[in-house]
Amino acid sequence: MEWKEIQTHKGKYEVSEMGQVRNIKKGSIVSTRGKLKSVQLSPYTYPRLTPMCQLVAQAFINNPNHYKSIRFINGFFEPKKDNLEWVKELKKGDIGYTIPDSWYFGFSQNS
């Protein structure tokens, strides 16, 4: 399984292509919440949940057009690299997530 450091939390957290986040120092997997399997990463001054699909897509899927919507290819909320794709916009019937402008922070592509 491949792991990449989360760029907004360098030295603290890594995300895997299979949809897990681990604390680098403790080596422990961070628990997820809700249908989007969101995680709360520290430090933030207020509680902020980040959907796992966002972390996986930003770390592992090339996004040269800077799209903000992520579609689950198989229609299920499985935040794995092979089940995610960046799309310009979600169409009716698509299962996915659009990153709000205030939350968008880029990863260096395929670093």
Tokens of 6: 């989360």
Residue given tokens 């996004």 in the structure block: 63
**Residue-wise pLDDT tens digits, 24-61:** 999 999 999 998 899 988 766 556 789 999 999 999 99
Residue 108 has pLDDT above 90, yes or no: no
pTM listed for this prediction: 0.86
**Structure confidence at residue 73 as a pLDDT band (50, 70, 90):** very high
Task: Give the C-alpha separation, 103 to 105, whole Å.
Answer: 6
Tokens of 60: 């592992």
Q: What is the pLDDT of residue 48?
A: 76
CA distances from residue 25 to 13, 39, 75 in whole angstroms, order as listed = 8, 17, 34
Residue 88 has pLDDT above 80, yes or no: yes
Q: What is the pLDDT of residue 45?
A: 54
